[in-house]
Amino acid sequence: MTVADLTRSEEWAALKRHRQALAKTRIADLFRQDSDRFSKFSLALDEFAFDFSKNLVTEETMRLLRDVARAADVAGWRDRMFAGERINSTEDRAVYHVALRHQGATPMMVDGKDVMPDVRRVWDQMRRFATAVREGNWRGATGERIETVINIGIGGSDLGPAMAVQALRPFCHPEIRFHFVSNVDGAHLQAALAQADPASTLFIVSSKTFTTQETLANAKAARAWLTARLSPDAVPKHFVAVSAAVDKAGVFGIAPENVFGFWDWVGGRYSMWCAIGLPIAVALGWEGFERLLAGAHAMDRHFRGAPAERNIPLTMGLIALWNIDFLGAAAYAMLPYAQDLARLPAYLQQLEMESNGKGVRRDGKPVKCATGPVLFGEPGTNGQHAFYQLIHQGTQRVFCDFILAARDRSGYPELHRLLSANFLAQSQALMFGKSAAEAQAEMREAKMKAGQARALAPHRSFSGDRPSNSILIGELDPYHLGKLVALYEHKTFVLGVLWGINSFDQWGVELGKQLANDILSGNGVARDGSTAGLKALYDAWQE
């Protein structure tokens, strides 16, 4: 497959020249020059606003960035994705998570087949199961209703459902507790089981192939815990599976009718919309899960139909490209001002870093520009007392996304006003900074001696001119969360197209797994002295 190197295009060169022309321009200067800047550099989709005005961009910047998008054929690749073409070239698969939240009767075709009848069949299976658990009609082996649901998965089979259930906590069933076990460290499973009664616990084992090493190890340990306290006959009443491998789930002890399937055109990190989202459906009820799908579908329609200059995912991807490849940002902070979105940074770490953490283009040739940045984050205001120091005054260039829900459901409006003030203040502080002269004047006003104020001024000044986006949503509910997650999916897709990489494989995940299996089998330990030495210490310290 021939892939054009965008970095050699005239469009890329024009952006480089433009960057040089802006070398002495500061973001704050742009606001001083244009009182209407916010309206020009923000976009909205109902109660969903994306403000990118606190970036070093002008109308000319955006025009040149859209030229780059046209040169990369972002629109063409988007249309191929929505048409069900096999754009995941290294695995020869379609990329069709958009079908999982498709609304209406329009067919969604892969290889000449409409996939929607199968999708709706699984939706119906999920709906019936979620309703039975929520209403107490699904009973354990001893007749108890389900009070604890433990999802066992890893990667996309864990991060999406775990993030969504926590994010939508106020909408969840009040009498069912949810736990998510992913790490093969036994402490993770033990912590969940310590809070569970086997008679009223349901396990959801999520693995497409039902061979994922960590998931199967945890599932077997959970089965042993259950059968030791009830009986081997209890397994069918306490275990269901999300998998394409009905036979392997059956060997484990799960009845075929309790296996929820999905398809090879669903990538793991894009799978919370299918049966992998079964814990979400149980937590929210089917109506709530449908609202989540509807929000994602609304963003799909927008991405597919909005013109380039009003297209939020496209614009977000272009702003990221500008910050990474033209302004030198190697790190990206995800800063939700919502405690219930505490797992969103981890979810987006997989989405963006697994998708775009690539060093070769689709044709196998090396990329000639920076690709996926290091993504990290924490809810505000906690992060302000942790790593914001580096964002404000460190030597690394970090670009940030701030997220806030306008309406609060906590019942503590004064706390939410304080939270919102911090959300607004932090992006403003990153942009304006504080000069040494301003810092010195503040200290003198506080009656500090002139010599001490001069000495402290370099430590208490901020360079500013640090870019950020702000996303404001009406409230954190299923519909808006669906929009938010779909936005980041499409933004990640846009960046992959711009860089000419395949965002939908993850071969970098495999090597460590292969070597772990070699070490478990006794091979591979002697390949290097460090590994052999550490293994010898591990064995010796077992006594």
Q: How far, in Å, are 95, 306, 310, 356 from residue 42 at the CA level?
A: 29, 14, 9, 26
Kindly report the CATH number that applies to the domain delimited by 104-284: 3.40.50.10490
Q: Residue 500, by phi and psi: left (phi above 0), alpha (psi -120 to 50) or beta?
A: left
In degrees, to the nearest 5, what angle opens at C-alpha 487 toward C-alphas 482 and 492? 130
Joined tokens for residue 358: 């690539």
3-state secondary structure of 434: strand
Residue 20, pLDDT score = 98
pLDDT tens for the 543 residues of the chain, in order: 567 789 999 999 999 999 999 999 999 999 999 999 999 999 999 999 999 999 999 999 999 999 999 999 999 999 999 999 999 999 999 999 999 999 989 999 999 999 999 999 999 999 999 999 999 999 999 999 999 999 999 999 999 999 999 999 999 999 999 999 999 999 999 999 999 999 999 999 999 999 999 999 999 999 999 999 999 999 999 999 999 999 999 999 999 999 999 999 999 999 999 999 999 999 999 999 999 999 999 999 999 999 999 999 999 999 999 999 999 999 999 999 999 999 999 999 999 999 999 999 999 999 999 999 999 999 999 999 999 999 999 999 999 999 999 999 999 999 999 999 999 999 999 999 999 999 999 999 999 999 999 999 999 999 999 999 999 999 999 999 999 999 999 999 999 999 999 999 999 888 888 888 888 888 777 789 898 899 899 999 997
Q: How far, in Å, are 330, 341, 371 from residue 358 at the CA level?
A: 14, 27, 7
Instruction: Please tell me the distance from the alpha carbon of residue 370 to that of residue 348, in angstroms, as a whole number.
Output: 19
**Percentage with pLDDT > 70 across the chain:** 100
Residue 326, pLDDT score = 98
Beta strands at 48-51 and 201-206: parallel, antiparallel or unpaired: unpaired
Residues designated as active site: 354, 385, 513
For residues 210 and 254, the answer to whether their CB atoms sit within 8 Å is no
Kindly report the CATH number that applies to the domain delimited by 45-82+291-500: 3.40.50.10490
Q: Where in the chain are the domains?
A: 45-82+291-500, 104-284, 509-540
Q: Which is it for the CA torsion 158, 161, 164, 170, positive or negative? A: negative
Q: List the alpha helices (DSSP H) in 230-305.
A: 235-238, 246-252, 278-284, 286-305
- 251-260, Cβ contacts within 8 angstroms, sequence gap of 24 or more: 252/205, 252/210, 252/219, 252/223, 253/223, 254/205, 258/129, 260/122, 260/125, 260/126, 260/129
**44: number of Cβ within 10 Å:** 12
What confidence tens digit (pLDDT) does each residue in 177-224 have?
999 999 999 999 999 999 999 999 999 999 999 999 999 999 999 999
Instruction: Please tell me the distance from the alpha carbon of residue 494 to that of residue 352, in angstroms, as a whole number.
Output: 11
0.85 surpassed by pTM: yes
Angle between helix axes 478-499 and 312-321 (nearest 10 degrees) is 50
For residues 336 and 403, the answer to whether their CB atoms sit within 8 Å is yes
Residue 2, pLDDT score = 60
Question: Are the folds of 45-82+291-500 and 104-284 the same?
Answer: yes
